[in-house]
Amino acid sequence: MTPSTAAATAANTGAAGAVVNDFTINVATVNGTGSQTANNTLIRAIMRMGIPVSGKNIFPSNIQGLPTWYAIRVCEEGWIAPRPRADVVICMNRETARDDVLKCAPGGWIIYDAPFELGKLRDDVHFFPVPFATLVKDVAPPKLWKLVTNMLYVGVAAELLGIEQDAIDTALDKAFGSKPKARDVNAKAVLAGRAYAREHFADATGYRVERRDLTDGKILIDGNSATALGALMAGVTVITWYPITPSSSVAEALEGYLKAYRRDADGKPTYAILQAEDELAAVGMVIGASWAGARAMTATSGPGISLMSEFIGLAYYAEVPAVLVNVQRTGPSTGLPTRTMQGDVLFCAYNSHGDTKHPLLLPASPQEAYEMTTSAFDLAERFQTPVFVMSDLDLGMNNWMCDPFPYPETPLDRGKVLDAEGLARMGVKEWGRYKDVDGDGIPWRTLPGLEVDGAAYFTRGSGHNEYARYTESEEAYRRNMERLHRKFETLRGALPAAVLDASGGGSPIGVIAYGTTHWALIEARARLEKQHGTTFDYLRLRAFPFGDDVREFIARHERVYVVEQNRDAQMRSLLRIELPDVSATLRSVLHYDGMPIVARHIVEAILEQEGARENGRAKS
């Protein structure tokens, strides 16, 4: 181990010099071999021991046969962003084994399939060859060898790292609770791996887990499942979708929840879920269902939003509620379907042709994905407009540790909907579908089926006046567009506020981030202060349009870094468009290789820009 590495880990070393509860495991396998169950067993077992943990799944976009990796970060301080290099590498894929070894941190461990013969590649790491093909013959029949081999590496890793067998058993119960025979054979494989490691690697030192009590009451859940739960709690009754990575599991999870919890007394479903022929049809169905009074949504990714754009413009202009979950991936075009990015921010904020603006909700965690999806339905109906929940692949498809979700305590907000009594009170002749009677830009609407003369109106995407009548009047068009803008201004006060951490001690530096970038940012902030004495205030955006607090934050600082995961500084551009009077101080920290951003990248980028500033001042 190098001196710098030793210094960095000294605070987390045990009596025998092992690094305790502060390392990253990288499991390299082949897609389609069933490694997900094994990896989930590891992460759940470590969490069961009371140690904060997170998992990142890196997989190819084909169905089977290409390399896949699973990174598990163990950190009792609670940092969950990925690290640049793994400390423990489990090599189960001959094709990538060499590169996987070379990417391991100095002093690290390499657990590998013995026939790969990796032991001579480096002299600064520790190798643990395991004859998996031989061991598996004693624990499972031939047809299960490929799948059960993965549990052998779970056993080896558990023995070397000190993961308690009780914790492994609990994780196996979670995975195979309804399949006792499968559980037994997998448990046998784990024990076989443990026995081999105990016999051949008894003197191994370097990394250990030790029981803590830091995860009591926590759950492990992926963001897409959390999003689906949020939709369920919001009272969704219609979901139409077309399969696309990485959003498909939103609809799949929601279908499971609806089947379990949305049936009448006779067992008949009280919901509709439909896989459409394409994304255009999916969003069209959402708009139709919402217009009819249902709570409707779709889930998609960037390419799907591209196809939906014209219908999104219709919903904006005709003022029809719609919830769109965008689990962002790397673009443009097909891009990298199984990589993450915050690449649709500008596209969704102003989606469709003409003058349009749409509210964006920016979750950073499964809990926020749950809460924001729930609130998206209220916002869509209250403001009669499409609402985007801007998740991403990192949040949506990875396991995150978080608190259990609260049960909603407030009733559904259906917005300004007139029933027969309300329409009579207002006066049928006075009511206009697009008339602003309250000064907030939000008109009143009726729902189809209201059997009152004058309640019906024609919904159109062409020019219309306050009474929904077709017109090409310049004045009527201008009034309508100004009212839509007024409605958007009213919306600002209803969105989740940005989260401010002003503990920078009066620093002239401010940093803005959003979504999953938050986790690398807070770790980078701690490192910048501890290792370099650099402090800053931090504002995490949670929604667009921006509130006054965002303008005030930018105005208070000499330099404001906007950290985001795209090439073109989309959030900084959005801030410049919306807040031009304070945007001169904005700078960018950008990351766009498709992998989740790491703390080191942020640290180096800020130090570089701050150093360039100081050098420029010295030269002048």
Strand partners, 27: 70, 90
Strand partners, 29: 68
Peptide bond into 332 cis (omega under 30): yes
CA angle 87, 91, 93 (to 5 degrees): 145
**CA-CA distance, 91 to 157, in Å (whole number)?**
12
**CA-CA distance, 572 to 579, in Å (whole number)?**
10
In our burial notation (b when 16+ CB lie closer than 10 A, e otherwise), range 292-317 reads: ebbbbbbbbbbbbbbbbbebbbbbbb
Q: Show the beta-strand stretches assigned E in 430-566.
A: 499-501, 509-514, 537-541, 543-544, 559-564
DSSP-H helix ranges across 177-326: 180-200, 223-233, 248-261, 279-291, 302-318
154 DSSP 8-state letter: H
Q: In sequence order, what are the residues at sequence separation of 6 or more whose Cβ sits closer than 8 angstroms to the Cβ of residue 620?
A: none
Torsion, Cα of 118, 123, 126, 131 (10° steps): 20
Q: For residue 432, what are its two tokens?
A: 């206009």
Would you state the pLDDT for residue 10? 39
Q: For residue 589, what are its two tokens?
A: 């920290």
Residue 215: count other Cβ atoms within 10 Å of its Cβ: 18
Would you state the pLDDT for residue 434? 97
Q: Give backbone dihedrals phi and psi of 232, rounded to 5 degrees, phi first.
A: -60, -50
The model's confidence at residue 64, banded by pLDDT at 50, 70 and 90, is low
Report the 3 state secondary structure along 330-375.
ECCCCCECCCCCCCCHHHHHCCCCCCCCCCEECCCCHHHHHHHHHH
CB 219 within 8 A of CB 54: no
The model's confidence at residue 619, banded by pLDDT at 50, 70 and 90, is very low
325 DSSP 8-state letter: E
Would you state the pLDDT for residue 411? 95
CA angle 32, 592, 31 (to 5 degrees): 5
DSSP letter string, 36-85 = HHHHHHHHHHHHHTT--EEEEEE--SSSSSSEEEEEEEEETT---S--SS
Distances in whole angstroms, Cα of residue 447 to Cα of each of 271, 385, 433, 452, 550: 18, 15, 11, 11, 37
**CA-CA distance, 338 to 394, in Å (whole number)?**
9
Q: Show the beta-strand stretches assigned E in 375-462.
A: 386-392, 399-402
Sorted by where each starts, the structural domains of the chain and their CATH numbers stand as 3-216 (3.40.920.10), 225-402 (3.40.50.970), 420-490 (no CATH), 499-619 (3.40.50.920)
Would you state the pLDDT for residue 62? 73
DSSP-H helix ranges across 465-507: 474-492
Mean pLDDT computed over every residue of the chain: 94
**CA-CA distance, 471 to 488, in Å (whole number)?**
23
Would you state the pLDDT for residue 177? 87
User: Residue 415 in 3-state DSSP?
Assistant: coil
Determine what percent of the chain is predicted with pLDDT higher than 90: 91
**CA-CA distance, 156 to 29, in Å (whole number)?**
15
CB 443 within 8 A of CB 416: yes
Q: Examine the pLDDT at 34 and tell me if it is beyond 90.
A: no
For residue 535, the one-letter residue type is T
DSSP-H helix ranges across 137-247: 145-161, 165-176, 180-200, 223-233
**CA-CA distance, 336 to 341, in Å (whole number)?**
10
Would you state the pLDDT for residue 15? 46
Strand partners, 390: 326
**CA-CA distance, 303 to 326, in Å (whole number)?**
10
Residue 559: count other Cβ atoms within 10 Å of its Cβ: 17
**CA-CA distance, 419 to 436, in Å (whole number)?**
18
Q: Higher model confidence: residue 365 or residue 618?
A: 365
**CA-CA distance, 136 to 114, in Å (whole number)?**
13
Nearest to 166 by CA among 44, 289, 288, 337: 44
- Give tens-digit pLDDT for 493-545: 999 999 999 999 999 999 999 999 999 999 999 999 999 999 999 999 999 99
162 DSSP 8-state letter: T
pTM here?
0.94
Length of the chain: 620
**CA-CA distance, 86 to 89, in Å (whole number)?**
6
- Percent helix, strand, coil in the chain, to 5, is 40, 20, 40
Q: Calculate the CA 557 to chain-centre distance.
A: 29
Nearest to 603 by CA among 551, 514, 541, 536: 536
- Min mean pLDDT across 173-177, 375-379, 616-620 is at 616-620
Q: Give backbone dihedrals phi and psi of 506, rounded to 5 degrees, phi first.
A: 80, 20
Rg (CA), the chain: 27
- Give tens-digit pLDDT for 261-319: 999 999 999 999 999 999 999 999 999 999 999 999 999 999 999 999 999 999 999 99
For residue 318, the one-letter residue type is A
Would you state the pLDDT for residue 65? 66
Would you state the pLDDT for residue 63? 63
